[in-house]
Structure 1
Amino acid sequence: MLTPKITSTREVLNLDGLWRFDLDAAVGEEPWRATLRTTREAPVPASYNDLFPDPRFRDHVGVAWYQRTVRVPHGWRGTRVMLRLDAATHEAAVYVDDDLVVTHVGGYTPFEVDITGHVTAGGEFRLTIGVDNRLTPSSIPPGSVDTDSLGRPRQRYMHDFFNYGGLARSVSIQSVPAERIDDITVTTEIDGTSGLVSYDLVTTDLTPGAEVRLRVLTADGTVVGASSGSRGVVEIPDVRLWRPGAAYLYTVVAEIVRDGEVRDSYPLAVGVRTVEVRGNRVLINGEPFYFTGFGKHEDSPVRGKGHDPAYLVHDFELMRWTGANSFRTSHYPYAEEVLDYADRQGIVVIGEAAAVGLNLAIAAGYLGQTEVTTFGPRGAFGDTTRDAHAAHLRELIARDKNHPSIVMWSIANEPDSRDPGARDYFAPLVSLTRELDPTRPVTYANMILAQHDTDVIADLFDVVSINRYYGWYQDTNDLAAAEAHLEADLRGWEASFHKPIIVSEFGADAIAGLHAAVDQPWSEDYQTALVAMYQRVFDRIDSVVGEHVWAFADFQAMPITQRVDGNKKGVFTRDRRPKAVAHALRARWTSLSQAKNPE
């Protein structure tokens, strides 16, 4: 699915702004059949939970309704009109006037529908979207809904971040030709001083005489290669590579031409680079790469998970200030604008699926249970969940496959990889990921309950990624013991798998402004000391090729007693003020950028 773009043959009408809005209980039955009976409005894109000082919205479980009137530009006569939602968390039903035109399950990937037969160029239509925030055992991420003692529905889930709902990304309509390019897949290789761009175009049925053409342009618009046909390879002499910290993007222009006229045209930014795992190293363009950076969240005050270009730019500038060269899209696909920006800025990304919470053993630990089954026929997550997981991976890779910034896929965060059923669950998903994209390594983020000698799936993956909290959840307030246990843990993984190791999460909560002369959890000083201890260990383990601190910024979490106004493990506060650890990271990472990633 191609991102909507304005070209010589396509137009886009963005529908962001204020929409009529209310919850299912307030709008009556079949609210799409008339103007919503409400004076309340909500912005798109934004989560709705924090907009109104009312717990009915903050804690809502179920469907929320958005509605607006849309006028189709009169110049769109004779074209196809597509409606696209960049995301709807977590399930959507979309109505044009009285007609249901599309449904979609999955809160972090886009979907679109041809509404040409429902609208008229120059005319208006009523667009109504019902967005359901409920998670179930067969959704990705999973959850469950039960009823409390007062008869109210309550959402339960096994991930830490708050379950924001609504239309957190853009909505648009676009005009496209009937004869058009529907998809482009690009992969790149390096051959000496040349770059090889392989492409595969998907088009609608073409009329006789129509021809597919492709050109490759430099950043200044100079044509450096061309080809014809739906598949092919274009060689770029004296290629400029896309490199971490030094992005260079070519533009691939795909066209359908008939009778000398361009019937459709679509430009795609392409970075020429390679990624591979060799021994215990991750190589980008044949050179070892050491990951420095963060796990992040799409999270900000008021907006929740709503995409905001101001926060996008500011967050990247803060990452650049710390010396970070990478981040993981924990724990779901981010807005595509984030990846476009990473492509242009030369920031490396590990793209992660929304498969978080596939671990009943975490809850068992809290409740004192000793035996639980997460996967398989007797577990909570079986074939139905895996099918949903596979569908999500297909949509994720279909959307993000062409981004040079993405160098690795993470297909799950902290699953119960000690459970014997985990292998039957994950082996087909790893195979699917490699089938969909054979050019990138595959990983998942391991949780401490599965050690190197009890994990049953790590051998399936190319890179070992582990989340560890020695000194916080284990060895609390004892950094000496934490250091010894962390080193033993990492050496066990190194000896067992001989693969690159990324420590994909480590850190500690810290209250901004809290200081202590001696070790004291929740102080900025303890957070700084803990992170420094981890880094000392990393420098002693040859196979460690990356360090991603958890987390970039404080974020809103589920309302439990361990979380006072959210998770406070951020290097920055939720409104992006640096804690003391940010300065320590800046000192280390700016020096590492030369020592471990020389130009």
Structure 2
Amino acid sequence: MLSVRESTTREVRVLDGLWRLYVPSPAEDALALQQGALPGTREVPVPASLNDLFADPAVRDHVGRYWYQRSALVPHSWAGERVILRFGSVTQSAAVFIDDELVTEFKGGYMPFEVDVTEQVSPGASFRLSVAVDNRLDNTSIPPGELGVNAAGKPSQEYKHDFYNYAGIHRSVYLYTRPHKFIEDVTVSTDIEGGTGVVNWSVEVKCTDDQACGRQDLEVTVLDEAGNLVAEGGSENQGSLRIADATFWTPGVGGMYQLRLRLLQDGEVRDEYIQPFGIRTVEVREGKFLINGREFYFTGFGMHEDHETIGKGHSNAHMVQDFELLSWIGANSLRTSHYPYAEEFMDYCDRHGIVVIDETPAVGLNWGITGGIIGGSTGGTYEEGHVDAGTAAQHRLEIERLIARDKNHPCVVLWSIANEPDTAVPEARDYFEPLVELTRELDPTRPVGYVNVMFAPYDRCTISDLFDVLMLNRYWGWYVNSGDLESAEINWTAELEGWTQKYPAKPIIITEYGADTVAGLHSIFDQPFTEDYQVAYLEMNSRVFDKFDSVIGEQMWNFADFQTKTGYARVDGNKKGAFTRDRRPKAAARYLRGRWHSLAPAAYGRRDSHSA
């Protein structure tokens, strides 16, 4: 799906701001609430999560639909154009109404969706926009959950992932115009031949009525970052261009071009779309991860879209602060754990050369654990009502949507199709093999991986051979051998030796390792939860990583403390961050800053040697 971009043929209005909010009781007929103004006077900001905004537990703890509403005006000048309504994300699902008419429904809390509302709105007039935001998760959701009723007779929600189930309209809402004949999609791939960049494109054109579907020509040009024309091509819907002395997209630097596409009819521009792209190659070869033919060593974090007050709502100010801290600490990469991040976030990574492991929302596909803690629900993972055919169908959709949205981002170098699923059982292979095949079919240009949980080591995992890269979440010294770093180091080393021997051609990225740490808590001993222990823990892990050439990256868990569901194991959230939730550095941040800057003498961030 193409991002919303203004051009000479497309106008955009942003519908962010304060919307009306109503939280219905379970007894109310929720689907009739769009008829007229919502009851009450409560307002809610868009984009933002709503859970932390109100001093009312009935809002925070509500299970079911929340109702959002506002009015919007269609400009007179939009007469004759198609009018499109687009949401960046609504978590976890949405039903959208124009006045009293249901215009679309969408399930999937981290992906954009849009609907043509030309027939429901009128240029020069206002309309009432109502959205039923539903936070419920079941086994057909990605991530999955279980619904029930508590002892008091109220709806309850259980889920398997270790981050809070924030709800709301989390990203911007747009109203934009599109011509009747328009560029629906574009796919860009690139190659490098010496100093020449090769740019391949494929364009899909669509029309909304027969009158618009006459003959057209496609004008293709490439502009550099300064807006200079550097290449131009033919009029076909697919083709290739060559750019001599090209600027290649480089980790830590960036380097972007723009593919300008114009649909021409009778010499006039009918539609224009500008697609940013970068020229780079990605390859896994002989146990190494290569970007532009050079070895790359990942340093960075698993992260979360999580901030105080706004929860998972996108904020450009918070985003820039986080990227400044990533630069300060020496991180060259991140994983979008455990869902796709905002489009603005991905664009920023493109422009600034941040390498991204792009992950689907497939977290919690493991009935034996709950939020990283042993003690999940009874029963197996791959059975009816748990992870079954309905789960797989939604998982397939999430992979298709992720690749459709992010395929043109040069920052994305690896697809992660799941985090910590149950892969120590034979049924996992039947579930995942078709999803791996789908991912490769949709995008043959990038490696494919998944993130392996500690309970499925090299001698038990049934699916690791299907993937290009091994990504391991390991907590030796925390969940296992807690407080005993000497034993943890021995056991961790032995496990990595096992992975390396079984899969000698597959590079290994440590995608999670961490210890919960209370900021300001210290001890002269290696005491868990202290800042001192967190640093000692990281030092131990670093020694283990440096023993293995097969380890080509380390992404600490987590960038910052984040909110989780309540429970005795999570007092005010997960505290494994190098930074607190309000972005103050712990002692671990300075340790990582020293290590990662020393490992990155060049922009590619790779180590010159594996010495400690």
Normalised-by-shorter TM-score class: over 0.9
Q: Which residues in structure 2 correspond to 1:41-120 (within 5 Å)? A: 41-120=43-122
Determine the C-alpha separation between the residues in 1 that align with 2:317 and 2:388.
Answer: 41
Which amino acid is 1:391 matched to? Answer: L
- 1:369–1:180: structure 2 CA closer, same or farther, 3 Å change rule? closer
1:450 aligns with 2:456: yes
Q: Which residue is equivalent to 1:594?
A: 601
3-state SS of 1:494 partner:
helix
TM-score, normalisation: structure 2: 0.96
- 1:543–1:193: structure 2 CA closer, same or farther, 3 Å change rule? same
Q: CA deviation at 1:594?
A: 1.2
Determine the C-alpha separation between the residues in 1 that align with 2:340 and 2:147.
Answer: 24
Q: Which residue is equivalent to 2:144?
A: 142
- Given that 1:374 and 1:419 are in contact with CA atoms closer than 8 Å, whether structure 2 keeps it comes out as no
Q: Which residue is equivalent to 2:401?
A: 395
Q: CA deviation at 1:231?
A: 0.5
How many residue pairs match? The answer is 598
Q: CA deviation at 1:378?
A: 5.3
Q: For 1:12-62, what per-residue CA distance to the aligned partner results, in whole angstroms no more than 9, with x for missing partners? A: 000000000011229755111101112000000001100101111111110
Q: For 1:503-526, what per-residue CA distance to the aligned partner results, in whole angstroms no more than 9, with x for missing partners? A: 000010110101111100000110
- Given that 2:560 and 2:576 are in contact with CA atoms closer than 8 Å, whether structure 1 keeps it comes out as yes
Q: Which residues in structure 2 correspond to 1:280-295 (within 5 Å)? A: 280-295=287-302
CA RMSD of aligned residues (A): 1.6
3-state SS of 1:555 partner:
coil
Which amino acid is 1:435 matched to? Answer: E
3-state SS of 2:320 partner:
helix
Q: Which residue is equivalent to 1:463?
A: 469
Determine the C-alpha separation between the residues in 2 that align with 1:591 and 1:174.
Answer: 47
Give the percent of matched residue pairs that are identical in Structure 1 and Structure 2: 52
Among candidates 164, 175, 178, match of residue 162 of structure 1: 164
Q: Which residues in structure 2 correspond to 1:502-513 (within 5 Å)? A: 502-513=509-520
Q: Which residues in structure 2 correspond to 1:469-548 (within 5 Å)? A: 469-498=475-504, 499-548=506-555
3-state SS of 1:319 partner:
helix
Q: Which residue is equivalent to 1:21?
A: 21
Q: Which residues in structure 2 correspond to 1:188-337 (within 5 Å)? A: 188-205=190-207, 207-227=213-233, 228-337=235-344
Determine the C-alpha separation between the residues in 2 that align with 1:54 and 1:319.
Answer: 35
Q: Which residue is equivalent to 1:133?
A: 135
TM-score, normalisation: structure 1: 0.98
In structure 2, runs of 5+ residues without a counterpart are: none
- 1:364–1:202: structure 2 CA closer, same or farther, 3 Å change rule? closer
3-state SS of 1:33 partner:
coil
Q: For 1:531-552, what per-residue CA distance to the aligned partner results, in whole angstroms no more than 9, with x for missing partners? A: 1110111000110000000000
- Given that 1:364 and 1:371 are in contact with CA atoms closer than 8 Å, whether structure 2 keeps it comes out as no
Among candidates 581, 586, 592, match of residue 585 of structure 1: 592
Determine the C-alpha separation between the residues in 1 that align with 2:445 and 2:374.
Answer: 42
Determine the C-alpha separation between the residues in 2 that align with 1:390 and 1:366.
Answer: 27
Determine the C-alpha separation between the residues in 2 that align with 1:544 and 1:283.
Answer: 14
In structure 1, runs of 5+ residues without a counterpart are: none
Q: For 1:158-185, what per-residue CA distance to the aligned partner results, in whole angstroms no more than 9, with x for missing partners? A: 0010000110111111011111101111
- Given that 2:161 and 2:372 are in contact with CA atoms closer than 8 Å, whether structure 1 keeps it comes out as no
Determine the C-alpha separation between the residues in 2 that align with 1:24 and 1:334.
Answer: 29
Q: For 1:571-591, what per-residue CA distance to the aligned partner results, in whole angstroms no more than 9, with x for missing partners? A: 000000000000010001011
Determine the C-alpha separation between the residues in 1 that align with 2:511 and 2:16.
Answer: 35
- 1:143–1:72: structure 2 CA closer, same or farther, 3 Å change rule? same
Q: Which residue is equivalent to 1:440?
A: 446
- 1:173–1:229: structure 2 CA closer, same or farther, 3 Å change rule? same
Q: CA deviation at 1:2?
A: 1.2
3-state SS of 2:369 partner:
helix
Q: For 1:143-165, what per-residue CA distance to the aligned partner results, in whole angstroms no more than 9, with x for missing partners? A: 01111111011110000100001
- Given that 1:423 and 1:457 are in contact with CA atoms closer than 8 Å, whether structure 2 keeps it comes out as yes
Q: Which residue is equivalent to 1:6?
A: 6
Determine the C-alpha separation between the residues in 2 that align with 1:209 and 1:466.
Answer: 52
Q: CA deviation at 1:383?
A: 1.4
Q: CA deviation at 1:311?
A: 0.7
- Given that 1:373 and 1:379 are in contact with CA atoms closer than 8 Å, whether structure 2 keeps it comes out as no
Displaced runs of 4+ in structure 1, greater than 6 A? 364-371
- Given that 2:48 and 2:314 are in contact with CA atoms closer than 8 Å, whether structure 1 keeps it comes out as yes
3-state SS of 1:588 partner:
helix
Q: CA deviation at 1:6?
A: 1.3
1:340 aligns with 2:342: no
